[in-house]
Amino acid sequence: MKPGKFITLEGIDGAGKSTQLAWIVQLLQQAGCATVVTREPGGTPVGEQLRALLLDKASNMHPETEALLMFAARREHLDKVILPALSRGQWVISDRFSDASFAYQGGGRGLDTQKLAILEQWTQGSVQPNLTLYFDVPVELGQQRVSLIKNADRFEQEQNDFFQRVRAAYLDRAQQFPQRIKIIDSSLPLNAVKAAVAQILQKILKHG
């Protein structure tokens, strides 16, 4: 059977990924693709428990512990959800994947990217998304959107400079992998962002 494709969504908190997720699923289903929607950290029973720990404001952990738990959840996610779905021919759309570790733990927390690359190699070998949509917004706009959420989690409560570093790391990653990571200007009006997403998806649906 023809394997499905693996699409990941990335962006700082408040970039508008969740809104676009529903749109992406709609476009893929209209094109006749079977879809599996999932998220990181999480997506499996063990992963969701790790997520609860990672997002809990009461969890005080070393940045390397945080990185290790992110990759631990990812290992489980690949094994239980992502790889089986792809081999069944389904399209997997994941709300975040390893670029988030490079952006948040690498950029935000300042961890050595070499160490993250070792974890990435260990956890996923050569598995990479076929397409990553990076929703780019100025940090101030992302923070404005997040401040509408009443109960900010451990990451959302970080300050402006943290998110500036996260954003810079995402942009850096997009520059390193221009074939895979597409930057979408998510500060544009909703319909313009949706149109940009649709245009990119048409290409992958047509040409693979």
10 binds ligand TYD (CB under 6 A): no
Residues 124-163 contacting ligand TYD, CB under 6 A = 153, 155-156
Q: Is 77 in the site for ligand TYD (CB under 6 A)?
A: no
Residue identified by tokens 């962002």 is 193
**Binding mask 78-117 vs ligand TYD (x if CB under 6 A, - otherwise)?**
-----------------xx---xx--xx------------
Beta strands in 42-145 (DSSP E): 91-95, 131-136
Minimal distance in Å, beta carbon 3 to ligand TYD?
Answer: 23
Residue position matching structure tokens 């023809």: 2
The footprint of ligand TYD on residues 16-45 (CB under 6 A) is 18, 40-41
Buried b (16+ CB within 10 A) or exposed e, 173-191: bbeeeeebbbbbebbeeee
Q: Which of 138, 102, 192, 151 minimizes the C-alpha distance to 15?
A: 138
Binding site for ligand TYD (CB under 6 A): 13, 18, 40-41, 55, 70, 95-96, 100-101, 104-105, 153, 155-156
